[in-house]
Amino acid sequence: MRRPAGFTLLEVIVALAIGAIAYALILGVPGRGTSAADLKASARSLASGLRTAQTTAMATRRDALLTVDLESHEFEVPGALAPHKLPQKMELKLFTAQSEVTSEKRGSIRFYPDGSSTGGRITVSSGERKYLVDVDWLTGRVTIED
C-alpha cells in the first residue's frame, strides 16, 4: 500500500520549532536588552518633544519646559495630556543647567520665547549603543548624534 504524499503534523511542528530557535539565535533573545531600533525611536521621540517645547515657547511667548524623569523613564511636553514613556531597559542621562535640576532623578530643558534655551543633552543608551540628543543653548537647535 502506498502512503499519500505530504508531511505529517509531527514533521511540521518539528520544522517550526527549529525555525523558531534559529530566529531567536539570529535576532537575539527577546527581553535581553533594548534594540537599536528602540534606542533610535526613543531618541527621535525625545527630539520631537524638545522641538515641540521650543515651538510652544515661541508661539505662546512664554517659557516652555521638557521635563525628564530618569527613574520612571518618562518625559513631559507642554500641552500633552500624559507623559511619554520610554522603554525601561535603556539608560537615560540628562545634562542640563543646574537651575533646571529639580532632583537627582528629574530635570528640565527650558526654551525661551525667542527660541533659545538653557541647552543640554539627553543620552539614551543600552550597552555600547547610544544616541545623544543635544540642544544648543543659543539657537535651541535640537540634533541627534550616534
Domain boundaries, the chain: 36-145
pTM listed for this prediction: 0.77
User: In the predicted model, is pLDDT for residue 31 greater than 70?
Assistant: no
Please report which confidence band the pLDDT of residue 127 belongs to, taking 50, 70 and 90 as the band edges.
Answer: confident
pLDDT value of position 121: 97
CATH superfamily placement of domain 36-145: minor pseudopilin epsh domain (3.55.40.10)
Q: What is the mean pLDDT of residues 100-118?
A: 96
User: In the predicted model, is pLDDT for residue 32 greater than 80?
Assistant: no
Please report which confidence band the pLDDT of residue 29 belongs to, taking 50, 70 and 90 as the band edges.
Answer: low
Q: What is the mean pLDDT of residues 32-55?
A: 90
User: In the predicted model, is pLDDT for residue 66 greater than 60?
Assistant: yes
Q: How many CB atoms lie within 10 A of CB 52?
A: 17
User: In the predicted model, is pLDDT for residue 46 greater than 90?
Assistant: yes
Secondary structure, 3-state, the chain: CCCCCCCCHHHHHHHHHHHHHHHHHHHCCCCCCCCHHHHHHHHHHHHHHHHHHHHHHHHHCCCEEEEEECCCCEEECCCCCCCEECCCCCEEEEEECHHHEEECCEEEEEECCCCCECCEEEEEEECCEEEEEEECCCCCCEEEEC
